[in-house]
Amino acid sequence: MVKLEELLSESVKKSYQNEVTLLKKIPGIGTKTVLMLLVFTDGFNRFTSVKELCSYVGITPTIRESGSSIKGRP
């Protein structure tokens, strides 16, 4: 498992050198988080907007209502 992580790390660092450097400057974001962000988003090229990325990650708040009453809790 360690060898696989090392290979992934080397590959991502070669492909996304600049992105790795920039993301590591953000407080609270470590090497593993940087690697996963870049792998899952294809270097942030998979999405055309921040809104798409936030929806993919699941951090976009949405109100879900059922029924026709507007006085109920969302």
Q: Looking up tokens 């009453």, which residue turns up?
A: 69
Ordered by start, the domain boundaries in the chain are 2-57
64 φ, ψ (degrees, to nearest 5) = -115, 120
Find the length of the chain.
74
Distance CA 69, CA 54 (A): 29
Task: Write out pLDDT tens, residues 9-63.
Answer: 888 888 899 999 999 999 999 988 998 889 889 998 999 999 898 888 888 877 7
The model carries a pTM of 0.66
Distance CA 19, CA 66 (A): 42
